[in-house]
Amino acid sequence: MAKTITKSKAPAQKTKSTVAPIVKVNESILEKLKTLGIEPQLQSDITWCLGSYSHDSNPIGLYEVASKALDVLKAEQAKKTKGITAKLISDIEKALKTK
């Protein structure tokens, strides 16, 4: 009698269990800057840093651009630019503290 071997299917493991908060914040910042149509150079820097992070998992550049973006967004918020919420500013500040 031939014995059949069945392979159990183990759940697929994720390479990165969770996305770092700084990544999520930078994605939100990028989306907001694009929506407002401001700071094209900062948009480019964030895009580059997100790509770099996905390649080497080194978040230092993300922290740097988030810090720059925080200053820009606070200035825009002071001008009463529509769409820049206190929650967005708070989320950026929280993510920067995880450094």
- List pLDDT tens digits, range 25-46: 999 999 999 999 999 999 999 9
Give the separation between CA 66 and CA 72, rounded to whole angstroms. Answer: 10
Q: What is the pLDDT of residue 24?
A: 96
Q: Helices 21-36 & 60-78, crossing angle to 10 degrees?
A: 40
Helix and strand numbers, DSSP H then E, in the chain: 4, 0
Q: Is 88 helix (H, G, I), strand (E, B) or coil?
A: helix
- List pLDDT tens digits, range 51-74: 999 999 999 999 999 999 999 999
Average pLDDT of the chain, as a whole number: 87
Annotated domain spans of the chain: 21-97
